[in-house]
């Protein structure tokens, strides 16, 4: 029954998304206000974040050459937020790829995230800017992107998670890596105890578990108290990205319905 409810909910949101303008800002930002009134017709990204459960990070899939096809398979199957993560891209190439991703996100009702670069997030009209611990300060990022886009934070320790839970200008944070991951080589895993710490604190904003999560260990993550996850290889390396995405989304929704 939970799986059927999830399917109905996502089908409705996907249907309504077709009439929406491109994700994120549609006008210029000067003092933190949006100058194009058309953006006010789009759903509040914070309301969409509150319903989000599955966050996908993908590279350019350069060797396969199938990024567009991959997105059209994975996004409608249950991805709520998608981020392009490739630190070796030149700005112009990244913007070209993000334009294609924005089109896919608009068609499938998915939030578009940019990693690290506030200027790229602004130029791409992204819904989300995700910042690491060593990226530009949140107040500076807000000066660039304005108030409407979401800002996320990476956290790796209980102290960092506690800070992100109340940091002004932050909308969500990620806790991890739960397990070692080639995405962040050399970074020690924070483990399940970090998730338990955050869950016990019951932060008043959404948070995601991240790092080495797939269908084989998702139950451990959920048991620790997380209700949202970021995945990479669980979907990007799947033989059938749509099936892998749907299985993860259904497991998340069945265990923790869409609520904080």
Model pLDDT for residues 201-258, shown as the tens digit of each residue = 999 999 999 999 999 999 999 999 999 999 999 999 999 999 999 999 999 998 766 5
pLDDT at 143: 98
Indicate the pTM of the whole model: 0.84
pLDDT at 181: 86
DSSP code of 77? G
Confirm if 105 and 119 have CB atoms less than 8 A apart: no
Instruction: Flag residues of the chain having pLDDT under 50.
Output: 1-41, 260
**Angle between helix 91-108 and 2-17 (nearest 10):** 120
Which structure tokens are listed for 82? Answer: 């998608």
Q: Which of 1, 41, 16, 10 is nearest to 258 (CA)?
A: 10
Please give the CATH architecture assigned to the domain spanning 44-255: Alpha-Beta Barrel (3.20)
Confirm if 145 and 45 have CB atoms less than 8 A apart: no
- The tens digit of pLDDT for each residue in 65-83 reads 999 999 999 999 999 999 9
pLDDT at 42: 59
pLDDT at 188: 87
pLDDT at 14: 44
Number of neighbours of residue 140 by Cβ within 10 angstroms: 12
How much is the mean pLDDT over the chain? 86
Q: Which of 54, 105, 71, 109 is nearest to 254 (CA)?
A: 54
Q: Which 3 state secondary structure label does DSSP give 131?
A: strand
């Amino acid at each position: 029954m939970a799986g059927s409810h999830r399917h109905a909910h996502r089908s409705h949101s996907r249907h309504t998304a077709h009439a929406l303008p491109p994700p994120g800002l549609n006008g210029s930002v000067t003092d933190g206000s949006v100058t194009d009134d058309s953006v006010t017709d789009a759903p509040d990204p914070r309301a969409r974040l509150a319903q989000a459960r599955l966050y996908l990070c993908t590279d350019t899939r350069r060797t396969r050459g199938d990024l567009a096809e991959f997105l059209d398979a994975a996004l409608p199957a249950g991805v709520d937020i998608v981020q392009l993560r490739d630190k070796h891209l030149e700005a112009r190439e990244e913007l070209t790829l993000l334009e294609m991703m924005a089109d896919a996100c608009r068609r499938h009702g998915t939030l578009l995230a940019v990693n690290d670069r506030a200027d790229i997030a602004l130029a791409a009209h992204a819904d989300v800017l995700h910042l690491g611990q060593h990226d530009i300060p949140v107040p500076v990022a807000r000066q660039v992107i304005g108030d409407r886009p979401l800002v996320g934070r990476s956290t790796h320790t209980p102290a960092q998670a506690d800070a992100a839970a109340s940091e002004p200008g932050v909308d969500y944070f990620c806790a991890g890596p739960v397990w070692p991951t080639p995405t962040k080589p050399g970074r020690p895993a924070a483990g399940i105890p970090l998730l338990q710490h955050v869950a016990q604190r019951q932060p008043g904003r959404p948070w995601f578990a991240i790092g080495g999560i797939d269908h084989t260990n998702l139950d451990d993550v959920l048991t620790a108290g997380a209700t949202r996850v970021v995945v990479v290889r669980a979907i990007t390396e799947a033989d059938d990205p749509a099936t892998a995405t749907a299985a993860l989304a259904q497991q998340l929704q069945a265990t923790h319905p869409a609520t904080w």
